[in-house]
Amino acid sequence: MEKIKSPIRIELSLGIMFQSVNCYLVPGKVLTLIDCGLDSEENWQTFQKKLNENGYQVADIKQVIITHEHIDHIGLLPRILEKSEATIRIPKMIEGWFSRPTEMKEAYLQFKKKLLSNLGFPKDIEQQAIRFIEEGRSYKKVDDLHRFETFEEGDILHFGNTQWEALNTPGHCPTQFVFLQKKQKRIFSGDMLLPIAPMPIVTEDPNNPDQPIRALKELQLSFERLKKYQIQQVYPGHGLEFTDANSIIEKQQARMQMRKNECYGAIKNGHQTPYEINRAMYPYQMMPPDFSGLYMVLGYLDLLEEEGRIQKETINNTWTYKWRKL
């Protein structure tokens, strides 16, 4: 059996202090790159330097595999397409972001606007939030679509002289894929498993158009799915590689459980709308730019509603939650 080499982690800047994103160079017969960072001149230089240090050039990359379509995971792709002949493998679910990006972004914006209008934001902050989302980076149409190949749940990918199974693990986003070796208990986890709990971003439900996805619920289901594999080696999309995935997942789940109960407490104390509950639970967060607490609140509300501990009512287009005594 050919020896399996360790992936080389390349850490790139997110342009925000101390925050970074990983891509992984995986040596083997087919030199493979998993994800490709956020686009910037600085990151492009860092990326090439790191390749050179390991004896490679961009032109040596034969295959790029993408875990999900977020801008911090596909940023350098156009530059890599130009400087190499690599085949690009992407989840079939994200094809539209490359073939018709304007349409995709427009639909995304429309949904976000509609969602924000339900959450009880003061009008001025809602406007700021909309502007912030509109100004977010746009995706460019890719001319080299013939170099793209797609994969789906259960497909086998080949890199590092070995085989990996592609699993769709929604939660961070519906399109999140991880690459798993069941026997060796290793995983490239994208933003599904991270040293710090992943953000359950609320977007339109691909299976239920116009409805928000229950992102935190999905994340919990994906956690349970991955726990069964007792994964020992994790190559995450952000932060350092780690071992013993289950202990990290269980810590994150315990914290979410605690915060969900605090959310229930906030509703008992009279905070009714997602905005009000967010302000009570995450008073230190600036929104925009930081919507992470809002996504957590929406996730906790879904779970509490499902447990019958709160009741949702839409009043003048605003989601309003009432505490229920059990």
Q: Which residues bind Zn ion (CB under 5 A)?
A: 72, 191, 237
- Our CB check for Zn ion shows the closer of 21 and 86 to be 21
Question: Shortest gap between Cβ of 91 and Zn ion (angstroms)?
Answer: 15
Class of residue 102 by CB neighbours under 10 A (exposed 0-12, middle 13-18, buried 19+): exposed
CB 74 → Zn ion: shortest distance, Å?
Answer: 10
Nearest-approach distance from CB 198 to Zn ion, in angstroms: 9
Residue type, 100: R
Contact 127, 185 (CB under 8 A): no
Between 176 and 278, whose beta carbon lies closer to Zn ion?
A: 176
153 touches 167 (CB < 8 A):
yes
Name the minimum Å distance from CB 22 to Zn ion: 9
- DSSP code string of 183-221: TTTEEEEETTS-SSPPP----EETTEEEEEP-HHHHHHH
Report the residue closest to Zn ion, judged by CB: 191
Q: Any idea how long the chain is?
A: 326
Least separation, in Å, of the C-beta of 73 and Zn ion? 6
CB nearer to Zn ion: pick between 237 and 274: 237
> How far apart are CB 179 and Zn ion at their closest, in Å?
15
Closest CB to Zn ion among residues 265, 289: 289
As a whole number of angstroms, the distance between CA 34 and CA 67 comes to 7
CA 139 to chain centre: 16
Closest CA to 37 of 4, 6, 66: 66
Complex with Zn ion: residue 215 or 277, whichever CB lies closer: 215
- Give the nearer residue to Zn ion in terms of CB position, either 191 or 276: 191
